[in-house]
């Protein structure tokens, strides 16, 4: 049985890595990996960490390219690879442009698709954009849906997806996280070793979402600046996404501020261990909302909605929006109210026990053998 895994960006690579490993270990499966390289440096960091050598690398990234560039280059490259390899199953992950192109190209080649991290929905096709539509299209094409939670399964059932094609597995990000975090971890980056995690309140910030580009991101950065100014005990670390638009704005607003460290994107291992050491997280990322509950870290979400309501229900994630005053108030509440902070810190991870990848491989084998 030949299974082709397709991915292209940092979060897809992190979440597919443990699954690729599990596929490679299975003697009845021939695993083929094709990366679009929608991301380049941020993808390579993950491939190196997990020792994954793709069989195909479409190398499509060019700076500041549009979604149309990404999708058209992916279609042509993936079509060639699928026609050559003729896999029995294509696996895609999540909701990026690579994901959607992978699913559609497989469909046009009449190859069945398994969707990893299926069933997340915000019910607003413009937020997150274009991810909500990407995952809906992928879900319509897929014949196997690996849903992290019961809530994700319910979303798919509401859309008429057949129950026997949906499998609740937890999220593979927990598998990856378990592999790289350890309480004795020492950073290779000097700056990260000099920070006093015990006596300072260290905030970890990430921000990259397309719908936050422009005014919302300006509001967020101005809010961040004020929070750090007002709270002497706070030290803030922002590993900036490689998108030049984001870096320019971050440098302009936060570049000269005391106790704010703008740094390069971190490899997954130091980043996960930084989550483990920090006080709280401010982010618009999807994956970090899933990782932080596992490590007992409160997350404030710099968005107006989330497709991860389990984390909000579990109490570890709070959606605070993108207005400057809301950002300041949401974070100050956690910095100044110990009870509120501890309530969030002790919430329980709803995303599984770190065995999602093994479960997925078992399900794939059973399903394919029964066909
Ligand atoms: C993409 C996904 C988004 C996902 C995010 C994870 C789409 C449309 N967006 O958004 O769903 O949440 O990845 O990070 O699929 N760049 C580099 N080196 C890199 C990566 C990016 O220089 O390794 C720069 C390039 O100039 C690139 C730009 O960042 O053009 C934006 O990358 P792109 O993949 O288009 O969008 P993201 O915002 O990263
Ligand atoms: N991450 C990383 N280094 C960083 C920032 C994030 O390894 O400097 C990891 C993070 O732990 C998570 C993933 O990248 O697993 C999230 O990626 P991103 O925020 O780019 O995308 P999203 O999850 O929003 O799709």
pLDDT in tens, 257-281: 999 999 999 999 999 999 999 999 9
Residue range(s) defining the domain that contains residue 98: 2-170+354-370
What separation, in Å, do the N-terminal and C-terminal C-alpha atoms of the chain show? 12
Atom of ligand 2 nearest to the CA of 9: 20
Residues 6+ apart with CB under 8 A from 92: 6, 7, 98, 99, 102, 103, 106, 113, 114, 115, 116, 138, 142
Give the active site residues. Answer: 95, 117, 131, 208, 210, 241
Residue 94 CA: which ligand 2 atom is closest?
A: 25
Q: Which DSSP symbol is given to 164?
A: G
Shared domain check, 296 and 235 = yes
pLDDT (average), residues 363-368: 93
**Residue 253 and residue 364 in one domain:** no
- On whether residue 182 sits in a domain, the answer given is no
Q: pLDDT tens digits, residue range 41-67?
A: 999 999 999 999 999 999 999 999 999
Question: Per the domain annotation, does 180 fall within a domain?
Answer: no
Residues 216-243 have a mean pLDDT of 97
Global pTM value: 0.97
Q: Specify the residue with its C-alpha closest to ligand 2, atom 6.
A: 271
Over residues 96-118, the mean pLDDT reads 98
The answer as to whether 181 is a domain residue is no
Residue 371: is its pLDDT beyond 90? no
Q: Is residue 205 part of a domain?
A: yes
DSSP assignment letter at 239: E
Q: Tell me, what's the pLDDT at 293?
A: 87
Residue 358: other Cβ atoms inside 10 A: 18
Q: Is the CB of 291 under 6 A from ligand 2?
A: yes
Q: What pLDDT does residue 139 have?
A: 98
pLDDT at 30: 98
Beta-carbon contacts of residue 54 (< 8 Å; ≥ 6 apart): 33, 34, 35, 47
Summary mean pLDDT of the chain? 96
Does residue 347 carry a pLDDT above 90? no
Percent of the chain residues topping a pLDDT of 90: 96
Please state, in angstroms and rounded to a whole number, the distance separating the CA atoms of residues 102 and 287: 20
Which ligand is located closest to the Cα atom of residue 96? 1
Measured distance CA(140)–CA(166) in Å, rounded = 12
- Report, as an integer, the average pLDDT of 347-366: 95
Ligand 1 centroid–CA 129 distance in Å is 13
Residue 308 in contact with ligand 2 by CB distance below 6 A: no
pLDDT at residue 177 in the model: 95
H-type alpha helices, the chain: 10-25, 41-49, 67-85, 97-108, 131-141, 150-158, 172-180, 190-194, 215-230, 244-254, 268-277, 287-294, 309-314, 324-336, 338-345, 356-370
Say whether both 296 and 256 belong to one domain: yes
Of 285, 297, 301, 307, the residue with max ligand 2 atoms within 8 A of its CB, to mutate for a pocket test, comes to 285
Please report which ligand is nearest the Cα atom of 138: 1
Q: Tens of pLDDT along 232-248?
A: 999 999 999 999 999 99
CATH number at residue 144: 3.40.50.2000
Tell me the C-alpha distance between 16 and 13, whole Å: 5
């Amino acid at each position: 049985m030949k299974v082709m895994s397709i991915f292209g960006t940092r979060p897809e690579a992190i979440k597919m890595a443990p699954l690729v490993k599990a596929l490679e270990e299975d003697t009845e499966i021939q695993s083929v990996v094709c990366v679009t390289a929608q991301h380049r440096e941020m993808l390579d960091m993950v491939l190196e960490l997990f020792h994954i050598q793709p069989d195909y690398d479409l190398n499509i990234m060019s700076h500041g390219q549009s979604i149309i560039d990404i999708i058209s280059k992916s279609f042509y490259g993936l079509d060639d690879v699928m026609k050559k390899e003729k896999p029995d199953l294509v696996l895609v992950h999540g909701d990026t442009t690579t994901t959607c192109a992978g699913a559609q190209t497989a469909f046009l080649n009449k190859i069945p698709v398994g969707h990893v991290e299926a069933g997340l929905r915000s019910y607003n096709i413009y937020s997150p954009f274009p991810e909500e539509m990407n995952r809906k299209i992928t879900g319509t094409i897929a014949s196997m849906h690996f849903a992290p939670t019961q809530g994700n399964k319910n979303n798919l059932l509401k859309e008429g997806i057949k129950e026997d094609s949906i499998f609740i597995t937890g999220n593979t990000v927990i598998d990856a996280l378990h592999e790289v975090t350890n309480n004795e971890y020492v950073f290779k980056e000097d700056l990260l070793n000099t920070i006093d995690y015990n006596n300072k309140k260290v905030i970890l910030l990430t921000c990259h979402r397309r719908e936050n580009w422009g005014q919302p991101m300006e509001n967020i950065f101005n809010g961040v600046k004020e929070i750090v100014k007002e709270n002497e005990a706070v030290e803030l670390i922002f590993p900036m996404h490689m998108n030049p638009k984001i870096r320019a704005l971050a440098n302009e607003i936060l570049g000269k501020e005391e106790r704010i460290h703008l740094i390069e994107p971190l490899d997954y291992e130091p980043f996960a261990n930084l989550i483990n050491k920090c006080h709280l997280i401010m982010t618009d990322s999807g994956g970090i909302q899933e990782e932080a509950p596992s490590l007992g870290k409160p997350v404030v979400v710099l968005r107006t909605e989330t497709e991860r309501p389990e984390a909000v229900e579990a109490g570890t994630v709070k959606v605070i929006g993108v207005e400057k005053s809301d950002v300041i108030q949401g974070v100050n509440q956690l910095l100044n109210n110990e009870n509120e902070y501890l309530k969030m810190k002790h919430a329980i991870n709803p995303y599984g026990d770190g065995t999602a990848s093994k479960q997925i491989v078992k399900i794939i084998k059973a399903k394919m053998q029964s066909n």
